[in-house]
Amino acid sequence: VKYYLSKIETKAQLNAFVEVYSQSALEQAAAIDEKIAAGKAGKLAGMVIGIKDVLCYNEHESNASSKILEGFESQFTGTAVQRLIDEDAIIIGRLNCDEFGMGSSNENSVHGKVLNAIDETRVPGGSSGGSAVAVQANLCTVSLGTDTGGSVRQPAAFTGVIGIKPTYSRVSRFGLIAYASSFDTIGVFSNNVKDNALVLETMAGPDDYDSTSSRKPVPAYSKLLHFDKPAKIAYLKETVHSEALQPEIKANTLNVLEKLKEEGHKVEEVNFPLLDYVLPTYYILTTAEASSNLSRFDGVKYGYRTPNAHNLESMYKLTRSEGFGEEVKRRIMLGTFVLSASYYDAYFTKAQKVRKLIKDYTEDLLTKYDYIVLPTTPSTAFKFGEHSNDPVAMYLEDLFTVQASVSGVPSISIPNGKDDKGLPIGLQIMTNSFKEAELYAFANYLT
């Protein structure tokens, strides 16, 4: 803990941590030392973990990196974090992110932007940018992020670390400040596959506080990392040959596929004709869910309340106008629009139908093949400000990550070399729901 605390201080300019729990982390560590001496330590004893600023931790502040949650202190600990603490992990602090998880560059945070440690003029990706950089710069052993449409995998790719989005419902969302409830997952960043697997197997599993959490038993992923059988691997033509793809990413992805073929795996090109529909589907449904989820922030129950109100209505209006950032307001408006009576069928209902088509298509592919391999992102880390005035260009960053989110299947990003500027490239692997053990084993084989 002392080592990490001093590292966090020397790397303060990266702005990965919003708050460091120096005292409670040292106290936790001392208590765990005693447990170790008594032979009673949990399986994560001494693992130092940072958590994204959207996860609730008892008597600690969580802001979702938004002004509207300024001063909000949680009165309970979310299930995922609690399960880590129960196994003697140490929570060292909370990590910067895009406001309510909305963004791909970590530029939408009330706490300021996070710098990519490999090139400080570039974004770390988002929305879990702080979580990615904390692991990249070795400011903690492992970190938690959340992934609604790529927010763990894309920053993992931009920073050269490993990031998993588990199957939807695998990890309880209790204590996660909601963005889009039918997409939100809690994921893990790490520098190696084993740590990642160990943390996920500890957090996962049924939870009475989240009725959508799966009842399926959780295998011990960290003990199932051996990969020996020949696999059936598909790659999506429309992604690997996409015009949006940076040439070095294409080359590195094709290289891996070639190598896999040489090693005796079955590697086949398949079509994904629905690629053009994944982003519109994702952005219609997530903005709709966000507009509903974020209606609870009214200045009464949580965090910020405007000092400028003269009656109840102006209190609501001014609190929300002053408290939410620009991107969040844009999404609330979009979501309110697609849910409005006259447009509901044209947008919301249609997007739900397309979601089902994408899900069915993806799951069908994943019954024929063990894995789908594709690039994590169309480009490597871009410069600050590059997409700030163009929301659609920013949304295009999610082109390859939203398929797994729309379908609910697990997906991991692992490092796959660098581009000509020395910036990390990510390789993404998807598999069918609840096959995290197989996903980790394959990732382990490739890293």
Catalytic, out of 52, 67, 165, 435: 52
Strands lying side by side in the sheet with 232-236: 17-20, 90-95, 48-52, 142-147, 185-190, 162-165, 411-418, 424-430, 371-375, 232-236, 266-270
Q: Give the integer Cα–Cα distance in Å for 367 and 380.
A: 31
What's the chain's Rg over C-alpha atoms?
21
- Nearer to ligand GLN among residue 371 and residue 400 (C-beta): 400
Q: Does 289 bind ligand GLN (CB under 6 A)?
A: no
Task: Decide if 1 contacts 24 (C-beta within 8 A).
Answer: no
- Least separation in angstroms between CB 71 and ligand GLN: 23
Q: Does 253 bind ligand GLN (CB under 6 A)?
A: no
Q: Does 130 bind ligand GLN (CB under 6 A)?
A: no
Q: Give the integer Cα–Cα distance in Å for 243 and 264.
A: 30
Catalytic, out of 104, 109, 127, 291: 127
Task: Decide if 93 contacts 48 (C-beta within 8 A).
Answer: no
Residues with Cβ within 8 Å of residue 280, at least 6 apart in sequence: 351, 354
- Binding residue count for ligand GLN, defined by CB under 6 A: 14
Smallest CA-to-CA distance from 447 within 221, 263, 68, 194 is with 194
- The tokens for 58 are 């008892």
Establish whether 127 is a catalytic residue.
yes
Q: Does 411 bind ligand GLN (CB under 6 A)?
A: no
Catalytic, out of 65, 151, 169, 379: 151
Buried b (16+ CB within 10 A) or exposed e, 276-285: eebbebbbbb
With CB atoms as reference, the residue minimizing the distance to ligand GLN is 151
- The tokens for 141 are 């052993």
- Nearer to ligand GLN among residue 126 and residue 299 (C-beta): 126
Please name the residue that has the structure tokens 């770390």: 124
Q: Does 377 bind ligand GLN (CB under 6 A)?
A: no
Task: Decide if 273 contacts 307 (C-beta within 8 A).
Answer: no
Q: Does 413 bind ligand GLN (CB under 6 A)?
A: no
Residue of 42, 130, 150, 160 interacting with ligand GLN (CB under 6 A): 150
Residue of 74, 143, 151, 416 interacting with ligand GLN (CB under 6 A): 151
Of 162-201, which residues contact ligand GLN (CB under 6 A)? 179
Which region, judged by CB under 6 A, interacts with ligand GLN, from 147-155, 236-244, 307-315, 434-442?
147-155
- Nearer to ligand GLN among residue 397 and residue 436 (C-beta): 397
- Least separation in angstroms between CB 104 and ligand GLN: 4
- Nearer to ligand GLN among residue 135 and residue 441 (C-beta): 135
Of 61-120, which residues contact ligand GLN (CB under 6 A)? 101-104
Q: Give the integer Cα–Cα distance in Å for 82 and 166.
A: 18
Establish whether 151 is a catalytic residue.
yes
Q: Does 207 bind ligand GLN (CB under 6 A)?
A: no
Q: Does 293 bind ligand GLN (CB under 6 A)?
A: no
Q: Give the integer Cα–Cα distance in Å for 10 and 415.
A: 25
Residues that bind ligand GLN (CB under 6 A): 101-104, 127, 146-151, 179, 286, 398
Q: Which residues are catalytic?
A: 52, 127, 151
